[in-house]
Amino acid sequence: MRLFILPFLVIEILDNDYPAAFALFVLAGITDALDGLLARWLGQSTTLGQYMDPIADKLLLSTLFIVLTHVGAIPRYVTVLVFSRDLGILLISTLLFATGTLRDFRPSLLGKLNTLVQILGVVSVLLEKLWPETWLSTLSGGLLRVVAILAPVSAAQYAWIVFRRTNSNPATV
Q: What is the CATH number of the domain that holds 66?
A: 1.20.120.1760
Which residue in 108, 105, 80 sits closest to 91, CA to CA?
105
CA distance 22 to 19: 5
Q: Is residue 173 part of a domain?
A: no
Opening angle at CA 16, ends 133 and 30, nearest 5: 80
pLDDT at 172: 46
| 92 within some domain | yes
Q: pLDDT value at position 63?
A: 94
Indicate the number of domains in the chain: 1
Residue ranges in the chain modelled with pLDDT below 50: 172-173
* pTM of this structure: 0.86
In a domain, 107, yes or no: yes
**Would you state the pLDDT for residue 102?**
63
73 located within any domain: yes
113 falls within a domain: yes
Chain-centre distance for alpha carbon 154: 12
Q: Domain of residue 141: give its range.
A: 2-166
Domain presence at residue 171: no
Start-to-end Cα distance in the chain: 34
Assess if residue 172 is contained within a domain: no
